[in-house]
Amino acid sequence: MIAPLRALTRPQGGIAGLWLILVIVAAVFAPLLTPYAYDIQNLPNAYQPASGAHWLGTDEFGRDLLTRLIYGARTSLSVSATAISISVLCGMVLGAAAAWFGGWLDRIVTMTVDLTWSFPEILIALILVAIIGPGTTGVMIAIAVAYLAQFTRLTRAQIMTLKGETFIEAARSLGAGNAHILFRHLLPNALAPVLVSAMLATGDAIILEATLGFFGLGAQPPVPSWGGMMSAGSALIFKAPWVIVFPGLAVAITVVAINLYGDALIAELDIRARLRRDA
Amino acid sequence: MTAPLIQIDRLSKRFQSGGGIFAKPRAMMAVRDVSLSIGKGEVLGVVGESGCGKSTLARLVLRLIEPTAGRVSFDGTDITALSPAALRKMRRRMAMVFQDPYSSLDPRHTLTEVLAEPFAAQGEPLSPDRLPEMLAAVGLPAAMAASHPHQLSGGQRQRVGIARALALHPDFVVLDEPTASLDVSIQAQIIALLADLRDRLGLTYLFISHDLGLVRYFCDRIVVMYLGTVVEVLPDTTAAPRHPYTRALMQSNFAPDPARRRAIEPLTGEIPSPFALPPGCAFASRCPRASDRCRRETPALGGDPAHPVACFHPL
Amino acid sequence: MTALLDLQSVSVSIGKVALLDGISLSVARGQILGLVGESGSGKSLTAMAAMGLLPLIGGRVTQGAVRFDGQDMAAMTEAERRKLRGGRIGFVTQNPMTALDPVQRIGEQVDVVSRLHLGLDRKAARARTLDLLTQLRIPEAAAVAEAWPHQLSGGMKQRIVIAMALAGEPDLIIADEPTTALDVTVQAQIIQILGNLVREKGVALMLITHDMGVVAQICDRVAVLYGGRLAEEGAVAPIFAAPAHPYTSALIGCIPQEGMAKGALRGIPGAVPSALAFPTGCRFHPRCDRASELCRSTVPPTDPRGDGRVACHHPGALA
């Protein structure tokens, strides 16, 4: 897999990729990067604008905003990425099974997918969180289910197209069994488009996670998440605008970066046509 | 002729297409009641135009698709009655080379992986010296083993397809228009390679093509198909055609010799839709010799058993 | 005979890559020129140059001139060239399946050509369309004119494409592998139709093909291209009787013939060179059994031979 690296050599892919690496490294090494704790209140220090001590200022409880932003990245990224990983894994199994076995299984899967496809992801996620209850686990499951239809559908379409390729018939003519064809030919060829679309969906998932956080359904205080921080900041928009602006910018830049890098990856893998046709 | 290796007995394949809430499904007979035998070491040619059922026949003979009716015996075993597991084992003895050398190789696999696939599929070990041997047999350098298909020309890819088909030393190979998407210069190379391999390995071929000139050069016996049925079996490459369709095919093939220019007697009329075949002989709508009887009754393949023809008014 | 289309040592490049090198050939009215060679030999590019369509693919004529009816195409404005194409120069593409607009009726697609290029009104254009379809032996022309492209067979579609090429009353037709996508019996029909057109209407026809059989059947002259250069050119009968260039005889030898001994068909070893790495000297030398040291080092000059020309250091003798 050299394509992800080659995508970094494209101008937009490179800048976007650098930002993503920066955010991921910051999230992973959060405790090493900042002298402050994300949850210790320091009320006399509240509403400080940006300064040498607090690069992005402090919030209403006097906590360092940059520290909370970095810890927030931990929550937002891990929840989104885990949710999408679960979604991709389940979607590939469902989509591949539907395409490969066909018949009633295919009909049920296709019908369910079409049904969920006709609801906005946010609605599905809200309903699920309402059932499971707020918190990171609930949000994770909600996002995973909300995007399940997308990956099931994409995988199914990829496998359906590949099934008609002559090299599949050639493998059968050699006496290859189902497992051989599925794991040697179908899944490897379907993987690239699905992974790229998973990457792009992670961007959407970050927004969805922030939205749920904004409604107070995500990570519960004092654990920071970007959506939760914006929710708290919305009351202070005139008094201390930086409290809402910086998490907002973090979400926006990260999502744009994911999309730019994804575009570069699509161009490198040369699968634009396949994504457009099948999704 | 020695004992037949392949015995095809009244083979038919019916395809259904469309059908939904608003459309009635339409059915067509892609192959209708075809009986043939192929002797050990023989090269049997099947020639016809698009839609004549020759590619369907090729897949039926290897049971890559299930027949609607009829049987295929391979070396005395009825392969249409084999269990899936037994059929998979049997596949090591019969192989196929496909028309499109572009889509018949997995784009993600290296040539090493492509050529290892027959062994993996049959659960057999692949000794490391086999690979360069397989490449050399089809005239490719061993250094190519690490290449991907997109780095190869069409002719080279088709050589890989042939090497893959021959990997497990099959007795019987179906060649489905193996040169149709290649330049004439490369076509001739591939045909020469196939002829060499046949002589060296004692192979039996079923050679599918739309090019009667090529089939007459390469094959021992020639089956002419039109809209799913066999209309004539030419016993050798020099036999004069007896079916008007065979003659039209021969006349459509121009010799590279301006001294042998001929006035073409072009076929008039259109090929009927296979979904709505008229009664009688399927060729009647384009046949210069067609009579009322041809439009009413379907002629059966008969006459001289060595050179059967399905026509009421043979030449 | 004066040439209608005349290419005078035309060289063509796309970007920095030189693809055609000094191609000279001409077609006169009432004549069929066969342009042959393997894929990648420069046949289609020569046709694009003849129609002034190179800018479409980012190409340009770097040397030489293309003259149509005495006029230098390079000196014309793009508007004038556009007027020629579809008007005095008709074009028949390789794939009739994609040459027709799927959402327009057949008749309208043919009508528009004569309305555009001959200034006919709707009624006159339709009358001309029906006349053309009848000339091309299309049964029930009026019904076909009302049909949609998907209702027609491949051979019928190709006849419609020919009708479109004819509708502007062309003096020259350029046909790029017009039968490759068709069944053999249909192919014979189309070849017959094209041949008759030239005889009856006195148009010039440049027929691009890879099939020496088709050339032998209907062409008057043949130009053999290899690696972007002209290998041999001349009247069909003497060239087939005694090809001077080893590439010409190799191409003829690729067609299986009646009575050919088994094993006689060997093809041409190797493959067409890429334009990025043309061999030195004669570009055919790596595949040629006559190649000498001279061929490896020196580009062969184009010499007259009979009424034609050949570019080979070791040409075969005249018959």
Enumerate domains of chain C plus CATH numbers.
3-310 (3.40.50.300)
Average pLDDT over residues B197-226: 94
In a domain, A1, yes or no: no
- Sign of torsion over alpha carbons A13, A14, A19, A21: positive
Residue B1 has pLDDT above 70, yes or no: no
Residue of C nearest to B183 (CA): C38
CB atoms A188 and B108 under 8 Å: yes
Nearest alpha carbon to residue B162 among C45, B152, C193, C125: B152
Residue A275 has pLDDT above 70, yes or no: no
**pLDDT the model gives residue A135:** 87
CB atoms C216 and B251 under 8 Å: no
> What residues in B contact A176, CB-CB < 8 Å?
88, 117, 120-121
C64 within 8 A of C236, measured Cβ to Cβ: no
**pLDDT the model gives residue A144:** 94
> What residues in B contact C39, CB-CB < 8 Å?
183
In a domain, A267, yes or no: yes
In a domain, A122, yes or no: yes
* Torsions phi, psi for B164 (to 5 deg): -65, -40
CA distances to B202, B261, C212, C242 from C237, in Å? 42, 11, 12, 9
- Picking from B197, B219, B237, B257 by the largest number of C CB atoms within 10 A of its own CB, the best residue to mutate is B257
CA distances to C30, C167, C215, C284, C315 from C310, in Å? 24, 37, 18, 13, 8
Structure tokens at B1: 């002729």
Angstroms from C124 CA to nearest CA on chain B? 28
Structural domain range at position A17: 11-25+57-278
Give the burial class of A195: count Cβ atoms within 10 A of its Cβ; 0-12 exposed, 13-18 middle, 19 or more buried: middle
Measure CB to CB from residue A171 to each of B87, B99, B121 and give the nearest one.
Answer: B121
State the Cα–Cα distance between residues A205 and A212, nearest whole angstrom: 10
State the Cα–Cα distance between residues A199 and A266, nearest whole angstrom: 11
In a domain, A21, yes or no: yes
Angstroms from C134 CA to nearest CA on chain B? 14
C5 within 8 A of C27, measured Cβ to Cβ: yes
Q: What is the pLDDT of residues A71-109, one digit of tens each?
A: 999 889 999 999 999 999 999 999 999 998 888 999 999
In a domain, A126, yes or no: yes
A270 reaches B (C-beta below 8 A): no
Measure CB to CB from residue A167 to each of B64, B91, B104 and give the nearest one.
Answer: B104
**Beta-bridge partners for C8:** C65
Residue A119 sits in a domain whose CATH number is 1.10.3720.10
CB atoms B161 and A170 under 8 Å: yes
In a domain, A101, yes or no: yes
C204 within 8 A of C172, measured Cβ to Cβ: yes
Tell me, yes or no, whether chains C and B touch by having 3 or more C-beta pairs under 8 A: yes
Residue A279 has pLDDT above 60, yes or no: no
- Looking at the structure of chain A, the number of domains it has is 1
A117 reaches B (C-beta below 8 A): no
- Picking from B117, B160, B164 by the largest number of A CB atoms within 10 A of its own CB, the best residue to mutate is B117
State the Cα–Cα distance between residues A202 and C239, nearest whole angstrom: 67
Q: What is the pLDDT of residues A228-274, one digit of tens each?
A: 899 888 888 888 888 899 999 999 999 999 999 988 888 888 766 56
Tell me, yes or no, whether chains C and A touch by having 3 or more C-beta pairs under 8 A: no
Residue C102 has pLDDT above 90, yes or no: no
Highest mean pLDDT among A124-128, B152-156, B172-176: B172-176
CB atoms C213 and B191 under 8 Å: no
C318 Cα distance to chain centroid: 26
**pLDDT the model gives residue C67:** 93
Give the burial class of C70: count Cβ atoms within 10 A of its Cβ; 0-12 exposed, 13-18 middle, 19 or more buried: exposed
State the Cα–Cα distance between residues B54 and B207, nearest whole angstrom: 10
Residue A276 has pLDDT above 70, yes or no: no
Put simply, whether the predicted model's pTM sits higher than 0.90 gets the answer no
Residue of B nearest to C269 (CA): B189
CB atoms B104 and A170 under 8 Å: yes
Enumerate domains of chain B plus CATH numbers.
4-16+27-247 (3.40.50.300)
Residue B4 has pLDDT above 80, yes or no: yes
State the Cα–Cα distance between residues C85 and C107, nearest whole angstrom: 20
Q: Which chains touch A (3 or more CB pairs under 8 A)?
A: B
**pLDDT the model gives residue C281:** 94
Interacting residues of C275 by C-beta distance below 8 A, sequence separation 6+: C17, C18, C19, C40, C227, C228
* Terminal Cα distance for chain C, rounded: 25
In a domain, A150, yes or no: yes
CA atoms within 13 A on the CB side of B12: 9
Structure tokens at C272: 């067409």
